[in-house]
Structure 1
Amino acid sequence: MSYYLRRITFYVVTMWAAVSLNFLLPRLLPGDPAKIMIGKLRRANGGRPISQEMIDAITSILGSDEGSMWDQYVAYWGRLLQGDLGVSSTRYPAPVADLIAQALPWTIVLVGVATVISFILGIVVGAWVGWRRGTWLDHLVPITTVFQSIPYFWLALVLVAVFSVNLGLFPIIGGYDFFAFPAGPEWSWAFVGSAVTHAILPATTIVLSSVGGWLLGMRNMMVSTLSEDYVVTAEAKGLTPRRIRTKYAARNAAIPSLAGFGIALGFVVAGSIVMEQVFSYPGIGKLMIQSVQGLDYALMQGVFLVITVTVLAANLFMDVIYGFIDPRARHNG
């Protein structure tokens, strides 16, 4: 119980520090971010004045010269607890929460599924390569490592050039066909098929770029685990090779990879910025770039906050799972 209490306390303190940093960053920038955003909103609104409620919301999120820092900090926490992340200046008058809610499912489905696929492939193939170490299967390690060492954007551009431009098998950019987008609240099979087709090349880019790390790590852990005493004892007892490979070697060799998988799952929400930019995919990564390019402070803060909360939640979840899987973590953690 003390292990879980320590972990929860650690993540609560880290969450408070992240939110506080998110509050302070715009206020440490030169000038007044609130006045800059209000001016941009007025220009986007054709020079017409904006409501006082909107001005109050912006100054509460980004700060102003009026009021003490503590009052702004308390007001900031109050709005966060109500789910108010402010209003985007680049897409006025759209709320930041709505923009993130629109982009988040695309990133979670694409990057999440691709991350799970690459992890499963890396663990399964890596366990088999480690079990058959010294054979031709070891050649899979440098092959997958080459893909991992290739820059993300270059691999994405090669896939686009080959499969989209030359062969015409997949779309070049976007997350769906505009004409297949449903007019009503219900999705159509045409839209789902279009979204899947548009996601194949981005997902392939993520899998090819990340599977090598999982495979190499699992292969090395498998080789190390096979020399442990409990594996040697299992072999001396005459257990079948399949049972030794799955129940004794692979199961224990995969434990260290779970920690890395938890971190990878946490960063799923951050998206793959380069990949989403190359394919113009409507996810969180593209939204983040647009917020930086447009100096949209409220949107930048909102995206940063969502990413931080998700990473911390994923790591807390994996710490809990890790404590159940490996009892040693509860005593040493």
Structure 2
Amino acid sequence: MRYLLRKFGFYLVALWAALTVNFFVPRLMPGDPVLILLAKLGQRGPVTPEMRASVEALLGAESGEPLWHQYLDYLGNLAHGDLGVSVTFFPAPVSSIIGQTLPWTIGLIGLATIISFLAGVGLGTVAGWKRGSWLDNLIPVTTMFQSVPYFWLALILLFAFGSVWPLFPLNGGYDVYNVTPGWNGPFIGSVLYYGALPAITIVLSSVGGWMLGMRNMMVSTLSEDYMVTAEAKGLRPGRMMRRYAARNAILPSVSGFAISLGFVVSGSIVTEAVFSYPGIGSALLQAVSGNDYALMQGIFLVITLSVLAANLLVDLLYSIIDPRTRSRA
């Protein structure tokens, strides 16, 4: 119990620090969101103090309010689930923008991350079990895709399979002209079709790391005494590979997978920028270019919570798998 309380206390402090940084960093950026919003509304001429005060109140701040008071208001609004109003998508609230874009990111990046993990661990298990086979020799090729800059790999695949051989669409999340959004077959099929190439890019760029890590852990595990004992007892090779070798070799990969899930949201920016995908990464880019403090803070909050939750999950998982971590804490 003391271990759990200590961990929860640490992550609460980390969350407070992240929220504090999340508040101050956007306000250090150049630009004036009030002027940006007025320009969007077609305002011409000088901005009066009354007009500025009205817009600032609309955006969640009062004119002349000290920074520390804004900080307290910011924490109070977060406690009530109020993330403010977006300047970029005015007058939509930030929570609405995140609710619309986050499912796209989780669906694409999250599913691609799971596929790459399962494929990499499975192939790495076989490659480590059968050292020197053609699959083992294929690992340098897969790691080559990981070493290539992600945006460059995405642009190559987009040019090859979207332009030269038009097998996939060039941009977007679904066919906006011929399907109606909703839980219907044509829309789901269109979403899968438009997300196929971005997902393939993510899998190609990450499967090599999972495969190499699992292969090396398998090689290390095969030299353990319990594997020699299992072989001496005459156990079937398939059972030895699955129940003894892979089961112990996969532990580091599981922790890495949990952490990678935490970075699903933050890792979507490059993907969605290259493929013009309507996810939370695209919304973040628009928020940064438009000095949209409220939207930036809301998205950073989602990223912070996802990363902290993933790290907490890993700590709790390790405390169950290896009780020695609790005794050393």
Q: Which residue of 2 aligns with 1:78?
A: 76
| Alpha-carbon displacement from aligned partner over 1:147-171 (angstroms, at most 9, x marks no partner) | 1111212211222222222222211
Q: Which residue of 2 aligns with 1:25?
A: 25
CA positional deviation for 1:37: 1.6
CA positional deviation for 1:59: 4.8
CA positional deviation for 1:134: 2.5
Tell me which of 119, 122, 145 is aligned to 1:121. Answer: 119
1:177–1:194 CA contact under 8 A, matched in 2: yes
2:255–2:314 CA contact under 8 A, matched in 1: yes
Call closer, same or farther: CA 1:326–1:53 in 2, change over 3 Å: farther
Tell me which of 128, 131, 134 is aligned to 2:132. Answer: 134
Q: TM-score, normalised by structure 1?
A: 0.90
Residue 331 (1) aligns with residue 319 (2) = no
| Alpha-carbon displacement from aligned partner over 1:113-153 (angstroms, at most 9, x marks no partner) | 00000001111110110111123322121010111111212
- Counterparts of 1:21 and 1:325, CA distance in 2: 34
Q: Which residue of 2 aligns with 1:307?
A: 303
Q: Which residue of 1 aligns with 2:47?
A: none
After superposition, residues 144-159 of structure 1 pair within 5 angstroms as: 144-159=142-157
CA positional deviation for 1:83: 1.5
Call closer, same or farther: CA 1:221–1:201 in 2, change over 3 Å: same
Q: Which amino acid aligns with 1:116?
A: I
1:270–1:285 CA contact under 8 A, matched in 2: yes
SS of 1:178's partner is: coil
1:181–1:191 CA contact under 8 A, matched in 2: yes
2:27–2:293 CA contact under 8 A, matched in 1: no
Call closer, same or farther: CA 1:294–1:55 in 2, change over 3 Å: closer
Call closer, same or farther: CA 1:145–1:68 in 2, change over 3 Å: closer
- Counterparts of 2:67 and 2:109, CA distance in 1: 42
- Counterparts of 1:303 and 1:79, CA distance in 2: 15
Tell me which of 316, 320, 325 is aligned to 2:316. Answer: 320
Q: TM-score, normalised by structure 2?
A: 0.91
- Percent of matched pairs sharing the same residue: 56
Tell me which of 191, 203, 213 is aligned to 1:195. Answer: 191
| Alpha-carbon displacement from aligned partner over 1:178-203 (angstroms, at most 9, x marks no partner) | 124426xx432111111110000000
Call closer, same or farther: CA 1:25–1:64 in 2, change over 3 Å: farther
| Alpha-carbon displacement from aligned partner over 1:195-234 (angstroms, at most 9, x marks no partner) | 1100000000000000000000010111111111222222
CA positional deviation for 1:100: 1.2
Call closer, same or farther: CA 1:28–1:295 in 2, change over 3 Å: closer
1:148–1:209 CA contact under 8 A, matched in 2: yes
Call closer, same or farther: CA 1:285–1:332 in 2, change over 3 Å: same
SS of 2:88's partner is: coil
Residue 58 (1) aligns with residue 54 (2) = no
Q: Which residue of 2 aligns with 1:259?
A: 255
After superposition, residues 1-333 of structure 1 pair within 5 angstroms as: 1-29=1-29, 36-47=32-43, 55-56=56-57, 58-60=59-61, 65-67=64-66, 69=68, 71-182=69-180, 186-333=182-329
1:130–1:223 CA contact under 8 A, matched in 2: yes
- Counterparts of 1:181 and 1:18, CA distance in 2: 41
Call closer, same or farther: CA 1:121–1:50 in 2, change over 3 Å: farther
- Counterparts of 2:33 and 2:224, CA distance in 1: 61
SS of 2:276's partner is: coil
Q: Which amino acid aligns with 2:175?
A: D
Call closer, same or farther: CA 1:293–1:55 in 2, change over 3 Å: closer
Call closer, same or farther: CA 1:148–1:232 in 2, change over 3 Å: same
CA positional deviation for 1:41: 1.7
Call closer, same or farther: CA 1:106–1:68 in 2, change over 3 Å: closer
- Counterparts of 2:201 and 2:222, CA distance in 1: 33
- Counterparts of 1:180 and 1:84, CA distance in 2: 36
2:128–2:214 CA contact under 8 A, matched in 1: yes
Which structure 2 segments of 5+ residues have no match?
45-49
| Alpha-carbon displacement from aligned partner over 1:248-278 (angstroms, at most 9, x marks no partner) | 1111111011111111100112242222111
Call closer, same or farther: CA 1:172–1:29 in 2, change over 3 Å: closer
1:103–1:283 CA contact under 8 A, matched in 2: yes
2:105–2:265 CA contact under 8 A, matched in 1: yes
2:168–2:193 CA contact under 8 A, matched in 1: yes
- Counterparts of 2:64 and 2:54, CA distance in 1: 17
SS of 2:59's partner is: helix
| Alpha-carbon displacement from aligned partner over 1:48-106 (angstroms, at most 9, x marks no partner) | 9869675335354xx8642361x322211110111111212122111111111111000
1:107–1:271 CA contact under 8 A, matched in 2: no
Call closer, same or farther: CA 1:231–1:104 in 2, change over 3 Å: same
SS of 2:87's partner is: coil
- Counterparts of 1:138 and 1:26, CA distance in 2: 47
